[in-house]
Amino acid sequence: MNIYAEPEGARTGDRLRYLARDIRRQSLTMVHRAKVGHPGGDLSAADILAALYFSALRVDPQRPTAPDRDRFIMSKGHCCCALYTTLAMRGFFPFSDLADYAQPLSPLNGHPNRTKVAGVEANTRPLGHGLPVAVGAALAAKLDGAAWRTFVLTGDGELQEGSNWEAAMAAAHFGLENLTLIVDRNRIQQGAPTETIIRLEPLAEKFRAFGWAVREIDGHDCTALSDTFAAVPFEPGRPNCVIAGTVKGKGVSFIENRAEWHHHVPTDGELAAALEELKGGLDR
């Protein structure tokens, strides 16, 4: 595994891109080894996770439960391989632990568990749970006048769950400018495009109508991600929504935009080909 392989003196955006590439490589390796996982979403979220953990979040891996830490809630918990890899790379636990993913009695369950894994804030995976929990966390900080922030990453298909819209109303009502929702807008849910199954568009307008400050960015542009996260709150008194336009399976030609890769396990040959595409430069 080629962690921190970025050239010396690389600019922030490039450094994040190298880290994201390593998240992609390791996630695919884990799914292949354990024969379970959700590689399409792991790959679409990799740049977002890199930008969060290596640029935006004020967290200390040595003090994972410090009261003043920023919270990050991975609502799309099925993409736990990308999350576990990111947490290990950030130093929350040894990178070698990742080999244990999904093995019997491993703390690295097929969906994240806060009581077993340092850095995990909530047990997620049933969809539509992360945003309400994030609203509660942001509310706690606001009630205390504390400076820590809450970030939450949802999938896009996940937004079909009504609990998100209960939480979206509440976040705006409570004026939670310390809350940032990132939507991994890869446009494909299990089985088919989101717009075919239950249309989400116009998504930005929906959140604006609910009272959020919305920015739409390229979810694979690490500089844009980093700059956008650094710019919160976008507007005083409003929760922040970043709609990150992404490509499901980003970085591997034969995985990109293929609905079947939502939870397809790569064969030996597919893994080798994918890792080949994900090494070297960053032209993809």
Partner 1 sequence: MGSSGLSRFAKRFPTRLVNVGIAEQNMVGIGAGLANGGKIPFVCGAACFLTARALEQIKVDAAYSQANVKLCGMSSGLGYGPLGPTHHSIEDMAWLRAIANLTIIVPADALETAQAVRAAAAMEGPVFLRLSRTPVPDVHPPEYVFQTGSATILRPGRDVTLIANGAMVWRALAAARLLAAEGLSARVLNLSTLHPLDLKAIRDAAETTGAIVTVEEHSTRGGLGGGGLGGAVAEATATTCPVPMRILGIPGTFAPTGSTEWLLEYFGLTPEGIRDAALEVVGVKVRP
Residues that bind partner 1 (CB under 8 A): 67, 71, 113-115, 121-126, 128-129, 131-141, 143-144, 146, 150, 162-163, 166-167, 169-170, 174
213 three-state secondary structure = strand
Residue burial 231-247, b: 16+ Cβ < 10 Å; e: rest: ebbbeeebbbbbbbbbb
Minimum distance, C-beta of residue 127 to partner 1, in the bound complex (Å):
10
**Looking at beta carbons only, is 29 or 124 nearer to partner 1?**
124
**Looking at beta carbons only, is 142 or 284 nearer to partner 1?**
142
Minimum distance, C-beta of residue 121 to partner 1, in the bound complex (Å):
6
**Looking at beta carbons only, is 166 or 218 nearer to partner 1?**
166
DSSP 8-state assignment for residue 259: G
The angle at the Cα of 274, spanning 268 to 275, to the nearest 5 degrees, equals 90
Closest by Cα among 82, 96, 78 to 20: 82
Reported as type and span, the H/E element at residue 229 is helix 222-230
Residue 132 CA to residue 154 CA, distance in Å, equals 11
**Looking at beta carbons only, is 95 or 165 nearer to partner 1?**
165
**Looking at beta carbons only, is 68 or 205 nearer to partner 1?**
68
Minimum distance, C-beta of residue 134 to partner 1, in the bound complex (Å):
6
Minimum distance, C-beta of residue 174 to partner 1, in the bound complex (Å):
8
Range list of β-strands (E), the chain: 71-74, 150-155, 179-185, 188-189, 192-193, 213-218, 240-245
Minimum distance, C-beta of residue 115 to partner 1, in the bound complex (Å):
5
